[in-house]
Amino acid sequence: MSANPDLIIVGAGAIGTACARALASRGVSVLLVEAGPKPGAATPASAGMLAPLVETNRDDPMLALCVRARDLYRELAPALRDETGIDIGLWTSGILTVAFSEEELEQLKEEVAWQRQQGYHAEWLTPEEIKERHPGIYPAILGGVLAAEDGALDPLALNEAMLRSAMARGANLLQGERVDELVIRDGRLTAVRTATRTISAGAAVIAAGCWSGRISGLPRPLSVEPVRGQLVALDWPAGEPPGIVYAGQGYLLKRGNEAIAGTTVEHVGFDPGVTEAGIASILATARKVFPALAGKPVLRQWAGLRPGTPDGRPMVGRDPEIPNLWYATGHGRHGILLAALTGEIIANLFAGEKQEYDLSPLDPSRFWSQ
């Protein structure tokens, strides 16, 4: 472990490891400090969907960035497999959103028309076309949209592959130690403190998920809070082709032989437990989408804490007053989608390189300048 790294990253979830890989690729000596992972960490709990068209709407300033983020994985997946031997399970065959009601149908039609005008690859599917793709789907389905380039990956595999790749490029990992405090002297970060040591560093990136605001010595309060999401695993219906289906507030995707079904959006503090009501609402949607799931046993159920912000957008960038303190946190529902892009952005900003995109939607200062 380098005694005085150029940069310390606090947290080795999807965001911290992606930042580590991108920075180490540019020759920065990086130390990742990871407390746990803590129970409730978002990355291992995540569904791993890459769903910019499904999960952002036309007014969302994140849409273009999210599409770019999704597309990065097409090159990254084979690169990570070559480097680390880990297959991140990239699925690129689209996400289907179906309508159960006339109201949902109208909304989807409007959205797909707009997406097509913008040049995004979205296809309207009739009930017959949907049943060709998914013979076991709810028989009275009214129609749906295929976001043809949206997809998914396996978040645990991504996390591990990013970590291994970062380490192969020279990054180090200090596992099982929590950063309790940032040391800031004369307007610069000089070190971080854990329970057992003080580690000097040239800079730090806060990538501690929903716990980011809990570190002492931050120059200002961070608007990041835990937003719980619950998930359930069942057997994927026998004979049903693989796919990802959204319906109302819920979704289902095939991973391995399992149907992963989600989710909830709950503001309940740092409690990573599942609830009967949460699981019941997820199962109700899943079993409506594929009636064959009715009565099938739950194989696993779990929850994770998304790092949420008041406007739902991440904070990626520099502190307004401490020039060597960086934030890469608050990714909410999109942290797997945005992980690789966040790493690239942080590494570019750190190197002082020009940015390809308008990063103002991500600017951490937006919460402190009003």
Query: What is the C-alpha separation between 332 and 313, in angstroms, rounded?
Result: 7
- Total residues binding ligand FAD (CB under 6 A): 43
Which member of 37, 127, 202, 312 binds ligand FAD (CB under 6 A)?
A: 37
> Does 5 engage in binding with ligand FAD (CB under 6 A)?
no
Q: Are 132 and 144 in contact (CB under 8 A)?
A: no
Which residue carries 């409007």 as its tokens?
110
Give the start-end residues of each E strand in the chain.
7-10, 30-34, 49-50, 95-99, 122-125, 143-147, 151-152, 172-175, 181-185, 188-193, 198-200, 204-206, 225-235, 244-247, 250-255, 258-262, 300-308, 315-318, 325-329
- Does position 331 interact with ligand FAD (CB under 6 A)? The reply is yes
Verify binding: residue 165, ligand FAD, rule CB under 6 A: no
Give 70 or 169: the residue with its C-beta nearer to ligand FAD.
Answer: 70
Does residue 45 interact with ligand FAD by CB under 6 A?
Answer: yes
Span 85-124, contacts to ligand FAD by CB under 6 A: none
The answer to whether 41 contacts ligand FAD (rule: CB under 6 A) is yes
* Site residues (CB under 6 A) for ligand FAD, limited to 262-291: 262-263
218 near ligand FAD (CB under 6 A): no
Element holding 277 (H helix, E strand): helix 276-289
143 conformational bin, left if phi > 0, alpha if psi -120 to 50, beta if neither: left
Site for ligand FAD in 292-311 (CB under 6 A): 304, 306-307
CB of 47 or CB of 199, closer to ligand FAD: 47
DSSP 8-class letter at 252: E
Query: 3-state class of 295 per DSSP?
Result: coil
- Looking at the Cβ atoms of 84 and 230, the one nearer to ligand FAD is 230
Between strands 181-185 and 188-193, the pairing is antiparallel
**Which CB sits closer to ligand FAD, 86 or 152?**
152
> Which residue number has the CB closest to ligand FAD?
335
The smaller minimum CB distance to ligand FAD, of residues 164 and 178, is found at: 178
- In the three-class reduction of DSSP (H, G, I as helix; E, B as strand; rest coil), residue 177 is classed as coil
Residues 11 to 30 in contact with ligand FAD, rule: CB under 6 A:
11-16
Of residues 169-188, those binding ligand FAD (CB under 6 A)? 178-179
Q: How far apart are the C-alpha atoms of 118 and 339, rounded to whole Å? A: 25
In the set 9, 22, 28, 49, which binds ligand FAD (CB under 6 A)? 49
Residue 42 makes contact with ligand FAD by CB under 6 A: yes
177 and 35 in contact (C-beta within 8 Å)?
yes
Which positions touch ligand FAD (CB under 6 A)? 10-16, 33-38, 41-43, 45-49, 178-179, 207-209, 211, 215, 229, 231, 262-263, 304, 306-307, 329, 331-337
